[in-house]
């Protein structure tokens, strides 16, 4: 029998970590382009991309910044480009939606429910910051609800479906699976669903193996064979949970957005390093990383020639 194909998603930068936490976190458009290209060359079929202000690294949803790195990645790889509509918890939904609306990617992320989004525990580990916004970004998460109401979700779905963008449904808790089932019942989303289960963010589901299995059982009951499952473990559990998920039939996501680590006390020097780590594990399990075109087929995507960048 042929090996099962596993989609590796890589997220090389994002809104969780700040530049002072790792010298390897890409910030400028040139750095993000290089990180994305390297991750694709290492075996990532999908690149989940955020943008940052090139001066101080704070999260930005300005399509002009995305246009400074997306064409380079598209020219150098055939990876599926997945643009965030999550942006940052401090942004409005209208601001978060701007890049997807203008750039019309094959895939966009979509958070499936409002939640407390606690990043402030990282203040215990990281004490010194280069930019004032970094400490404020973490501290404000003590009193922050990351808003993703039913109206917000419906706005993103209805706006993007007109040009064929499909979604990576980011589910941080069991209730988010039920929210997704609600939109499926209403016909606002169509299979195959790409369900990204997120573990280990304070305010969402935990990172115990039982949490992962509970997510899987619930998704199986709600969606049957109409979904592709993927595992995102935050922090040091990234590789552990991805490995466990892969043994249960999941796709996997790695990258410096979700974890800065390559081992105990060892910073990953690139997202590509994390891609190589999980790829080696997959191959040891007799599983084969999917190519970008195989990922497109598995997820029912419109194709790389139908984007606006």
Nearest to 39 by CA among 282, 288, 278, 270: 270
Q: Flag whether pLDDT at 95 surpasses 90.
A: yes
pLDDT digits (tens, 9 = 90+) for 170-225: 999 999 999 999 999 999 999 999 999 999 999 999 999 999 999 999 999 999 99
Average pLDDT on 85-107 reads: 97
Chain centroid offset of residue 290 CA: 17
How many Å apart are CA 92 and CA 15, to the nearest integer? 14
Domains of the chain: 5-306 (3.20.20.70)
pLDDT digits (tens, 9 = 90+) for 124-139: 999 999 999 999 999 9
Instruction: Give backbone dihedrals phi and psi of 110, rounded to 5 degrees, phi first.
Output: -150, 115
Q: Please check the confidence at residue 1 and state whether its pLDDT lies above 80.
A: no
pLDDT at position 3, please? 56
Angle between helices 209-223 and 174-185 (to 10 degrees): 10
Residue 14: predicted pLDDT? 96
Per-residue pLDDT band for 74 (boundaries 50, 70, 90) equals very high
- Tell me if 271 sits within 8 A of 299, measured CB to CB: no
Two structure tokens written together for 301: 């995507």
- Name the pTM for this structure: 0.97
CA distance 90 to 113: 15
At 4 the pLDDT is 87
* Distance separating alpha carbons of residues 261 and 239, to the nearest angstrom: 9
At residue 221, the 3 state secondary structure works out as helix
Rg from Cα positions in the chain = 18
Return the number of other C-beta atoms located less than 10 Å from residue 228's C-beta: 20
pLDDT in tens, 244-282: 999 999 999 999 999 999 999 999 999 999 999 999 999
Report, as an integer, the average pLDDT of 44-52: 98
User: Does position 82 have pLDDT exceeding 60, yes or no?
Assistant: yes
Over the chain, what is the mean pLDDT? Answer: 97
């Amino acid at each position: 029998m042929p090996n099962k194909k596993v989609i590796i998603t890589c997220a090389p930068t994002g809104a969780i970590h700040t530049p002072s936490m790792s010298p390897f976190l890409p910030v400028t458009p040139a750095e993000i382009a290089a990180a994305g290209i390297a991750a694709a060359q290492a075996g990532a079929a999908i690149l989940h991309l955020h943008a940052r202000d090139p001066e101080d690294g704070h999260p930005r949803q300005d399509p002009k910044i995305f246009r400074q790195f997306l064409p380079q990645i598209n020219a150098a790889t055939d990876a599926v480009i997945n643009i965030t509509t999550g942006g940052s918890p401090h942004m409005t939904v209208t601001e978060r939606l701007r890049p997807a609306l203008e750039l019309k990617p094959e895939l966009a992320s979509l958070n499936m429910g409002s939640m407390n989004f606690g990043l402030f525990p990282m203040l215990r580990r990281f004490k010194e910051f280069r930019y004032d916004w970094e400490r404020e970004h973490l501290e404000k998460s003590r009193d922050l609800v990351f808003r993703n109401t039913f109206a917000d979700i419906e706005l993103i779905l209805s706006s993007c479906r007109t040009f064929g963008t499909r979604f990576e449904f980011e589910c941080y808790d069991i209730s988010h699976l039920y929210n997704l089932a609600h939109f499926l019942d209403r016909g606002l989303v169509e299979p195959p669903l790409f369900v990204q289960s997120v573990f280990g963010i304070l305010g969402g589901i935990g990172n115990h193996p039982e949490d992962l299995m509970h997510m899987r059982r619930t998704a199986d009951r709600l969606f049957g064979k109409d979904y592709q499952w993927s595992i995102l473990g935050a922090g040091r559990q990234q590789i552990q949970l991805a490995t466990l998920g892969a043994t249960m039939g999941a796709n996997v996501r790695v990258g410096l957005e979700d974890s800065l680590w390559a081992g105990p006390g060892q910073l990953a020097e690139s997202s590509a390093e994390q891609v190589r780590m999980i790829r080696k594990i997959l191959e040891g399990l007799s599983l084969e990383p999917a190519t970008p075109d195989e990922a497109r087929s598995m997820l029912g995507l419109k194709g790389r020639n139908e984007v606006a960048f």
